[in-house]
Structure 1
């Protein structure tokens, strides 16, 4: 994977069209910005109950976006990342419908995980309480078969997302088919969506167990043999993330987004500096994604201290709600369907109160943090919360999943904050210093981040009280000092 900025986007929501138009946008308006692109689910259908993360057919490109050749065309010039939806498949899939019709006689019966597969005599309250849940609902959904029998199927997320039994031949065959299609059509990086939940064992949390690590390792080895690398997508306590990073190709630094917000809100860098001294180096960094802003990744868990205290987490969340004029509150928790226990649904730009300078400072910190940076299309264009879409769908995360046309994209490109971000991205891509050694210092309101690769040096110096952010880039050929505020005035 190249150590340059990557884009995260839906093909249709950014372009108003499909994969061919996405490539055109990458080649023209976004020329020079991205070495790779994470194309969010492009499988049939792209407009299911979870924006493509509940595929009816994981092996079929939704015809409204194009076909596998259109994806391959993008892969000729950019590193393409695609989601392998490891944990579940749509209840509307051919496979699950066959199970509902034929029950245990279905050839797909073993592909789906049932309560009795893990708890043959039924689950006890103690066992249920031990399971780590990303939702405040039961981990099972009762489904009635054509015979009239009711079976409890495991549904980690929603009742339309039926968990796959990845340890059976049918489950393995399903994932193998998709992996081979990816390799054949130019995918270079696989995001293992919700992989931490894939293996379930009675008496455990059913999340990131030793068996889960073994499963992820086996998937990664398969991917390597096909010329691809993997990213483990896991929201959890920061110590879990550090442990996971030692066993996989790459992880996401999901602690970074809330820590940067906390830093800017409190004008104190201590928690951020503490994290950056120990954070995994084999990571991707993000501020925003198609999901909400993760909170659990920086907070405490039970008796385990977090990077932030419970009081600091509460202040962080309340400040986001205040900065967004209460909009994030309408999209988070019980206020919207498909609720998350560990995320606040809000655009990152609105979380910072639409403050252009604070937003570019946040991006500068991200780009200087260890890892390969990714920028979500909503963040790239500094989009506001999409309250109209939220009102229409009542899905909390849709607040940050706007549908745009190319004409709307062009208008956003004219905004000073977007122009400034484009300049930052190019600076990050062009300096070879970021392939060297990282160091960080700071306390209270002062932060200094540095990358050095032989004669090339990149420094970021921030004074949160004085409100200054300065980038310094030097090499044998040139020295450049950039006051971040100037990027908003050019």
Structure 2
């Protein structure tokens, strides 16, 4: 992976509807801006129960977008990352339909995980309650077979996403086939989606077990043998994320988005600075993705024991409430019990709205992201300083759709002319081109309210100095200084008449 800013996007939501249109965009208005692109699921079909994360056929490009030749053409222009949905597949997949029709006689019978497959002697109440799931309720769905019988299937996410047994020969062959197809198409990196849930074991949480790590090791080795780098996607307690990072090529720094918000809301970089001192360097840094803003990543561990989070519980609650205030309540309407496709550990909101649509605060947040060790990725909505799509949320009822807007070409070109977007792209170009970012990183706390981040490589130096109390920053490079300052639109959590009440929320 190049040490340059990457783009995360759906093929059909960023100024066009096809791979050819996306390629033209990256070769036109955005030429030279991104050092790679993570294509969110482009498999057949892209409009299932979970925006492509429930593929009917993971080895076929949705024909509405193009074909594998289109992926090859894009990969010849810019490095491409693709998802391998490890944990599950669509209830409409040919394999699952064959299983429903033929039961145990199907060649795919053992491919789909049942409750009995994990608990052959039945499960106790304690065993069922110990299962970790990012949704309310138990992860089981009743399926009716063609012969009239029923099976209790394991469905971690939704009833339309059927978990597979990654250790079964049919499951292993299925996943190997996906890797081989992606490699043939010129993809150079894969993201293992939902891999933390891929191994289930009776009497455990069924999440990030020692057996899960062993599976990741094996599967990553298969990927590397095909020339593919591997990114592991796991939302988890921060110490667990550090442990995961030691065993894989790349992990996301999911703690960074809420910690940047915390620093800007509370006017102090203390928790952010402490995280900088221990975070893994083999990180993909993000502020936004196709999912929500993670909360579990900086909170206390939910397992027994004294395992505090990166911020105290009261401040974490206040952070969530401040996101809701800055988004004028839109994020509240898209989060938790207010929306389907429920995530218990995320707040659904664009990052620009989480900062009250304050251009200066947004550019400060992006500058902090780009200065973190690792490789930055920017979500397509974030590239355009996008705002919450309440119409899409209302139409689908899916909380995360508030941050999954469909941009047509005219809307995209208008967004690119916004001063905040122009300045963001200038910042991306600086991050991509300045030689200091290939050198040594330094971080220094300045008093209670300021933070200095710097990169030094031989005679080259870039520095970002942020005063969180004043919400302003200075970026110094090559004798020039760029200043970013809050527009005054950001609602803070560090002062004002409602501060004490907010902390009690």
Displacement after TM superposition at 1:485 (Å): 4.8
CA distance in 1, matches of 2:331, 2:348: 6
- How do 1:189-200 and structure 2 match up within 5 A? 189-200=189-200
Number of the residue aligned with 2:373: 370
SS, match of residue 476 in structure 2: strand
- How do 1:223-302 and structure 2 match up within 5 A? 223-302=223-302
Number of the residue aligned with 2:435: 432
SS, match of residue 349 in structure 2: coil
Specify which of 467, 471, 474 is matched with residue 467 of structure 1: 471
Contact between 2:264 and 2:471, CA under 8 Å: does it hold in 1?
Answer: no
- How do 1:161-176 and structure 2 match up within 5 A? 161-176=161-176
Q: How many pairs does the alignment contain?
A: 483
Number of the residue aligned with 2:5: 5
Counterpart check, 1:104 vs 2:104:
yes
Displacement after TM superposition at 1:463 (Å): 1.1
CA distance in 1, matches of 2:173, 2:220: 16
Residues 420-470 of structure 1: CA deviation (Å, up to 9, x unaligned):
100110110111111111121114211101111122111100112233211
Moved more, 182-191 or 142-151: 142-151
Moved more, 119-128 or 170-179: 119-128
CA distance in 1, matches of 2:6, 2:113: 35
Residues 221-261 of structure 1: CA deviation (Å, up to 9, x unaligned):
11111011000000000000000000000000000000000
Residues 165-221 of structure 1: CA deviation (Å, up to 9, x unaligned):
000100001001110000000100100000111011111111111110111111111
Structure-2 change in CA distance of 1:382 and 1:123 (3 Å): same
SS, match of residue 451 in structure 2: strand
CA distance in 2, matches of 1:60, 1:466: 51
- How do 1:10-409 and structure 2 match up within 5 A? 10-302=10-302, 303-409=306-412
Contact between 2:16 and 2:22, CA under 8 Å: does it hold in 1?
Answer: no
Displacement after TM superposition at 1:154 (Å): 0.5
CA distance in 2, matches of 1:122, 1:351: 45
Residues 83-139 of structure 1: CA deviation (Å, up to 9, x unaligned):
000000000111111111111111111111111111002221111122111111211
TM-score normalized with structure 2 length:
0.94
CA distance in 2, matches of 1:33, 1:16: 18
Root-mean-square deviation over aligned CA pairs:
1.2
CA distance in 1, matches of 2:456, 2:207: 38
CA distance in 1, matches of 2:359, 2:369: 15
SS, match of residue 13 in structure 1: coil
Displacement after TM superposition at 1:325 (Å): 0.6
SS, match of residue 12 in structure 2: helix
Displacement after TM superposition at 1:52 (Å): 0.2
CA distance in 2, matches of 1:466, 1:86: 45
SS, match of residue 76 in structure 1: helix
Structure-2 change in CA distance of 1:466 and 1:225 (3 Å): same
Contact between 2:360 and 2:472, CA under 8 Å: does it hold in 1?
Answer: no
Unmatched tracts of structure 2, length 5 or more: 488-505
Displacement after TM superposition at 1:62 (Å): 0.2
CA distance in 2, matches of 1:406, 1:165: 42
CA distance in 2, matches of 1:226, 1:124: 43
SS, match of residue 32 in structure 2: coil
Moved more, 132-141 or 155-164: 132-141
Displacement after TM superposition at 1:480 (Å): 2.5
Structure-2 change in CA distance of 1:32 and 1:130 (3 Å): same
Moved more, 131-140 or 35-44: 131-140
CA distance in 1, matches of 2:72, 2:280: 31
CA distance in 1, matches of 2:30, 2:464: 25
